[in-house]
Amino acid sequence: MKTIILIISVVSMFSFNGYSQTTKTSDLLKDKETRNETFNAILNNHELMMDFMDAMKAEDIKTMDNMPMMQKQNDEKSNLHNH
């Protein structure tokens, strides 16, 4: 009886461990088919598309803030507001 419980416990542990696999995003995107499926999933789901567009806008803002010309303009605006 103890053997059966032990075997069931071990099999259950291995079964649940299989579900908790983690995959890196970069590994998923290397495969062209998986990448296209991911893109299509985003394109065909309005909520995902809106989240994606928000993320792109936020990234654009960060990129612009890091540009030397934009930093200079931001500094000038700050100086105008402080005087």
Cβ-proximal residues to 64 (8 Å cutoff; 6+ apart), any chain: 70
What pLDDT does 73 receive? 61
Mean pLDDT of 3-26: 70
Judge whether residue 11 has pLDDT over 90.
no
Please tell me which residue, 68 or 71, carries the higher pLDDT value. Answer: 68
Band of the pLDDT at 47, cuts 50, 70, 90?
very high
Dist CA 79 CA 22 (whole Å): 48
Write down the pTM of the prediction. 0.47
Judge whether residue 62 has pLDDT over 70.
yes
What pLDDT does 59 receive? 85
